[in-house]
Copies of this chain bind each other. A is one copy, B any other.
């Protein structure tokens, strides 16, 4: 890749880790610039004007262009590699799991980790507290869908690791920080081990 790659990130974020794991598996050099989301560093006027008007990390900077959204950034990095299948249906199926991750998985599993592990249950306001049970149930449902899917296969799409696995791995492997029990999902546990054994794998900070 000719242009320099800079990841604007908070190292506690699984969404940021997805991009670092993708780059590591592909052997791509990636610089990082760190922000503290809990201190509002992604909501400053400068960040909103120049990095991401949506006020969120991660953002992948490619030369002088900025690409928000973790899964879009992974897609940019992985095009042309084996992390995106060549077959048309399989390629769309990778996106299917990446959209599942952002809609059914991350808002429940990542959010409970953020609320319970970083914010702390005692500090949650009433509106968040009232959602704890619904997010617990929806997160367990997402893990169950994953566990059932993996019962008959080693990877989410096709015969090797793809961006679908990377997207789902990021918050699944740290889900116990949000109160989920990985031992309830044995197929997921075996898949987590396969992911950590991939050549080039890097751990989350």
Binding site for B on A (CB under 8 A): 53-54, 62, 65, 67-73, 75-76, 79, 88-89, 91-93, 95-96, 98-100, 102-104, 106-107, 126-127, 130-131, 133-134, 145, 148-149
Given A62-B89, A88-B76: A69 touches B96 (CB 8 Å cut-off): yes
| Copies of the chain in the assembly | 2
Given A62-B89, A76-B92: A149 touches B53 (CB 8 Å cut-off): yes
- A96 contact set on B, CB distance < 8 A: 67-69, 72
Given A69-B99, A127-B131: A54 touches B92 (CB 8 Å cut-off): no
User: Is the beta-carbon distance between A71 and B99 smaller than 8 angstroms?
Assistant: yes
Chain B residue nearest to A3 (CB atoms) is B89
Tell me the complex Cα distance, A56–B75, Å: 25
The 24 listed contacts between A and B (C-beta, < 8 Å) are A53-B148, A54-B145, A65-B89, A67-B89, A67-B93, A68-B100, A69-B103, A70-B99, A71-B99, A72-B93, A72-B96, A72-B98, A75-B91, A75-B95, A76-B92, A79-B91, A95-B95, A98-B99, A102-B102, A103-B103, A103-B106, A103-B107, A107-B107, A130-B130
Output the residue of A68, A99, A130, A134 with the most chain B CB within 10 A: A99
A132 → chain B, closest Cβ, in Å?
Answer: 10
